[in-house]
Structure 1
Amino acid sequence: MKAIILNDAEKIGVITGRITQARMPIPPDKHPSSGFYHPSLKLDSRVGIGTGLNVKVTGLRVERIQSISEHDARACGYPKRKGSSSNQSQLSLVDDVRYFDDVWDEKYGLGAYKNNDWVWVIDFKKWG
């Protein structure tokens, strides 16, 4: 069985139903113009995301990372930030996509979101 790599916080989000989508960078040598075929994922396939935790792939597409919508950012587990009372007004202005941008850069390196690389977008639901 193939796997979708998620960190522990993301796995908890899947378990609780808060996360139903993941984005994975496409390696530069695997340009999406060759087709939308993913080498290891298929619709309706069962995929592992952790020990004893599986999901069913319900959607698979290719897009640029900056094409993410607020709805998709929330599906990836990145809702609007909640700040402390001292900085609440500033943080409440940060939308879901901007928060996703910040986390993407933390995960893949400063400027990764700005590069606007191609990614696999994987929609899924908890399996069993």
Structure 2
Amino acid sequence: MAKWFLSMAAAGMAFGGAAFAQEEVVEPLTEPPVAELGDCKLYDSAPEMPDPKEATADDRAATITAIKDYQASLNVYRDCLNVIAENEELEVEERQAALKEFNRTVKVETDMVEDWQKFSKKYDKANK
């Protein structure tokens, strides 16, 4: 009886293994970068501000978190751009492109902070 049980268990494992081997492995989808220069990639976009008249305290807190996360991503991206911009072995055009992209990200961040300030003032006024 024990031999029969063991042989059935072994057969089940063999068939189960064969079925498992036929399963297709699905790789997780990754979004394309929103900005890319050389090996430097930025995957996040600046967060949009919610409607200050309809936003809740949770919406406001989530926006602050999204801003901080985006700024952290920008810092990593800019560090990479700095490596390109400061590499004197590269062509001048490549280094200038990295500097131009760095400056573009500063503008995007500045605009985002200004949008946050406008949102925050309107939010505070709407929630007094």
TM-score scaled by structure 2?
0.29
**Higher relative contact order at CA 8 Å, sep ≥6: structure 1 or structure 2?**
1
Larger fraction in helix: 2
